[in-house]
Amino acid sequence: MPSEFRNEAFTDFSREENAQLMRAAIEKVRGELGREYPLVIGGERIETDGKFESINPARKTEVVGRFQKATKELAQRAVETADKMFAAWSRTPAAVRAELLFRAANILRERKHEMSAWMVYEVGKTWAEADGDTAEAIDFCEFYGREMLRYAEPQPLVRVEGEDNRLEYIPLGVGCVIPPWNFPLAIMAGMTGAAAVTGNTVVLKPSSDAPTIAYKFFEILEEAGMPLGVVNFMTGSGAEVGDVVVDHPRTRFIAFTGSKEIGLRINERAAKVHEGQIWIKRVVAEMGGKDAIIVEPDTDLDEAATGVVQSAFGFQGQKCSACSRAIIHTDVYQPMLDRIAERTEKIKMGNPTDPQTNMSAVINQKAFKTINEYIEKGKAEGGRLLAGGGSDGEQGFFIEPTVIADVKPGATIEQQEIFGPVLAVIRAEDFDDALRIANDTEYGLTGALYTNDEAKLERARREFHVGNLYLNRKCTGALVGAHPFGGFNMSGTDSKAGGRDYLALFTQAKVTSAKLRAGEVPAEKRRAV
């Protein structure tokens, strides 16, 4: 049996030996930039006529990797290959499947800084953000491996005399895994690992903004002993080949993390029954948020301001858990604005290869344009620019950490997910008003409350309608096992990734009930002996 699960420790880069290892990894990865990567279906490496490039958002002329544009025919082939492999993989003992994830976790540890360095280049993560992403990927592999062993144990049922009753969790079939670019290793590894360890086979279609890190993890799975065709690697347009996989009658489920618009589109397509389909497809979706931190007067304002700024601008605000709204009680509104502005102005922007960089470029040109439009919209609707607001798209997609004060409830930047370094600050008249504003969006992912009032804390537990609520701490940084993650409303299906319920989403429960013959001992009693 594996040891008790413990979260992977973050790297202390203030220690020179750790910093040297990270610098060496960055140099190693730099020497590998621009390589071409294939599709992989059933173990076969495939190249196509169509290509696309993944670029470094902080240096947009730098190509990170070149990838294949899969065709409709190849997408269909990927599903059919996974379907053929399902019979054998689904019958592979749970312990064998779990051991595969444990080996993958060990390889990730050995290459921890190298995997982080790929994220520095491909998505603009700072050293600390990339290290946290890699640690979380290790956690997912370790946690889900242990969870599979728990799910495979005899499940408790009410005893019926004269019967041998058993419940077991069996896999669903072929799954389409569509991960996001913002946690390109952790979320991708978590969804893929959960699907595979439960006995399903997978068509993995990573984001076109972060395919390289997904391919590197796919190679790790191969090295860990994954049989050919259990996970198939496919890149290309979501609208062209992603839809083919989602629609295919042999696709049994779709695991998706990304925008609300794409998630709803997948959910709608998955609901349609195609010729030859004999099941209702399952959708596991996490679709973002419009997260708020409420600050009451009876709290440490310095601590609250630090939590707001860290939550708002970590990884350029490109987290579904990011604080995009600070709802401040009127009695401490100005003092909090002063503290937020002061901390925001100290954020060091720059190239993420520099260990001193706190914030880098946003992911691509489209995001750069959209975020700047939101900033202008915020000002046009009466918001006051308190900090930032500038941008530089010449070398990379850089937008300053931006704070807009005096935002009115219902304003565009108070309602719509921006997914960038923009914080809207709203004044609340009292705690009732703050809760009303916090809950008045279509999302419900994360939220936080800073107060020393126990009655307010308890009320927030009851009334602050989010999947992950944090009290007197920032609203980002969920840990696998400790903070199962997923939200309400348009934030998705509340999948609770990294929790004890998650693997159930990739399985179905089968009950067998056998009448005992005279003198026959029930299975649970035989196991006890």
H-only helix segments in 431-522: 431-439, 454-463
Pairing verdict, β 231-233 and 282-286: unpaired
- Hunting for tokens 């899969």 — which residue is that? 70
What domains can be seen in the chain, in order of their start residue? Answer: 27-287+492-510 (3.40.605.10), 291-471 (3.40.309.10)
Q: Contact, 67 vs 174, CB < 8 A? A: no
In 381-419, which ranges are continuous DSSP H helix? 412-415
Specify the DSSP class assigned to residue 497: B
Q: What is the DSSP secondary structure assignment for residue 332, as one 8-state letter?
A: G
Q: What share of the chain has pLDDT > 90, as a percent?
A: 97
Mean pLDDT of all residues belonging to the chain: 97
Phi, psi of 442 (to 5 degrees): -85, -5
What average pLDDT does the segment 355-380 reach?
A: 98
Looking at residues 474-494, what average pLDDT do you find? 98
Contact yes or no for 453/459 (Cβ under 8 A)? no
* Dihedral, CA of residue 141, residue 143, residue 145 and residue 149, to nearest 10: 180
Any catalytic annotation for residue 475? no
Q: What is the mean pLDDT of residues 509-516?
A: 96
What are the C-alpha distances in Å from 405 to residues 219, 425, 449? 47, 5, 19
Handedness of CA 76, 82, 87, 88 (dihedral sign): positive
> Tokens 């992912």, residue?
445
Measured CA to CA, the distance from residue 143 to residue 99 in angstroms comes to 12
* Per-residue pLDDT tens over the stretch 401-440: 999 999 999 999 999 999 999 999 999 999 999 999 999 9
What is the pLDDT averaged over residues 316-340? 98
The single residue of 99, 114, 122, 286 carrying the catalytic annotation is 286
> Which band of pLDDT confidence, cut at 50, 70 and 90, is reported for residue 518?
confident
Residue 346: pLDDT above 50? yes
Pick the catalytic residue: 320, 414, 417, 475?
320
Report the alpha-carbon distance of residue 113 to residue 19 in Å, rounded.
10
* Confidence tier at 523 by pLDDT (50, 70, 90): low
Would the pLDDT of 334 be above 50?
yes
Q: What is the mean pLDDT of residues 368-396?
A: 97
Determine phi and psi for 53, rounding to 5 degrees. Answer: -120, 145
Would you give the DSSP letter of residue 505? G
Half-sphere exposure (CA, 13 Å, Cβ side) for 254?
Answer: 31
pLDDT over 70 percentage in the chain: 99
pLDDT, residue 528, reads: 53
For residue 252, pLDDT over 70 is answered with: yes
For residue 273, CA distances in Å to 243, 276, 280 come to 14, 8, 7
Task: Specify the DSSP element, H or E, that contains 95.
Answer: helix 94-110
| Mean pLDDT for the stretch of residues 361-367 | 98
pLDDT at 239: 83
pLDDT at 522: 72
Measured distance CA(199)–CA(364) in Å, rounded: 36
- From 414, 480, 468, 472, select the one nearest 183 (Cα to Cα): 480
pLDDT for the residue 526 = 60
pLDDT reported for residue 135: 98
Rg of the chain over all Cα atoms, to the nearest angstrom: 24
Rounded Cα distance between 479 and 10, Å, is 12
Q: Are 287 and 490 in contact (CB under 8 A)?
A: yes
Per-residue confidence band for 525, with pLDDT thresholds at 50, 70 and 90: low
- Measured in whole angstroms, the distance separating CA 404 from the mean position of its chain's CA atoms is 27
- In this predicted structure, what is the pLDDT of residue 529? 46
Furthest C-alpha separation in the chain: 82
323 flagged as catalytic: no
pLDDT band at 1 (very low <50, low <70, confident <90, very high): confident
- The per-residue pLDDT for range 166-209, each reduced to its tens digit, is 999 999 999 999 999 999 999 999 999 999 999 999 999 999 99
Mean pLDDT of 270-292: 97
